[in-house]
Structure 1
Amino acid sequence: MNIINVHIHLIRNELRQANSKIIELQPTGELHFYDYYHYVYLLDKLGLSHEIKSVLPYMRKSIRDDQIMHIKRSQEHMATCFELLYCERQRKINDIKSEIERMNRYQEKDGNLYLNLYIQLKELMPKSVKVNLAIIKMVANNNIAINDYRRIVNVLADCNRVVIAQLSNDDKVRMNYKDTYTKALEKIA
């Protein structure tokens, strides 16, 4: 597995390359615990949480009984902590998505509330193109009374960095991304 190249792409904010490389790496066989841990860590950082669940059992199985007890306990602790954080993040994400669905069902159209819920999702899933695009489109296509302009400008700038890093130029042209982002910036100006 070439996990190091994926990590280098992530550090360089080359998210599209990191995503494509990590999806190519299907960890199978007998890998070391730290290889699995590094793999799930990168999946987490890239926002590929749906992939994590399938790798966690392999990570657990890779903890060997025939090693020094301190190392084994350390690995068990690392795995447990990662799993707990992962489960807690997934619970929070599901709660926010449920609230958004509830608001959609009852047609509650409080733009600030929607925006704040999506910003909470972004904090939990910072590299999600879907969430970042949703925030940009929401600001661009709605008249939202912005309470904290500086915060929204920073959120939009970060969303833009994620979208630019992950979408190809063809995708951005096809969805008219540049105009949408410009319109979002004009709405808050």
Structure 2
Amino acid sequence: MTLADPVPDKAKEAVSPLYGVVDVLRRDRIAGWVIDRRDPGASVTVEIRREGQRIASVPANRRRRDLEANRFGSGLYGFGAAIDPPLMEGMEFTVSVRAMAADGTEAILQPLSRVLEPSGEQRALARLLEEVAACRALLEAQQSLAERVERAQLRMETLWPEPDPVPPTGWGLRLLSLAALALALLSLTLSVMSL
């Protein structure tokens, strides 16, 4: 989705009494603010068009706390409109936002992102935050794998009982060993005598 960017007339832009931006541009909603610098209390209407067809016309009279906090007039310059039906993902649409004062003065509002491009530091910080999130996900996956291995080991231990302890050696085993030794000696003696 792109916001219409007509070739601006620099002379008109420099003296336009209407000033504002589009700071929300989503598939289902568009919002921003606009003020008539000649008369900060005057009513301004915002017309939103998609592919040249008007989809909304709303007054710019909503309270904007950010403008209020920065002592930007009364702060009652916000506008917002739902885009119904929402714009489809992956499809290209051109949306234009035009502010109109009561006396017929008009101005095209541009998206805030064109007014304030992110700095290199902000882009680097965004990439760093993405890397941290990826590392966190990898660590959680490894911890989950370790827990599953532990559970499997516990199950295996319950399936195989511990081996019986080695029975103590008694006289019977000693006698059997002595009998085997005696037979070996007898066999050796008979082998030597037959030579």
Please report the TM-score for the alignment, with normalisation by the length of structure 1.
0.21
Please report the TM-score for the alignment, with normalisation by the length of structure 2.
0.21
Normalized per residue, the structure richer in helix is 1
Normalized per residue, the structure richer in strand is 2
Rg larger in structure: 2
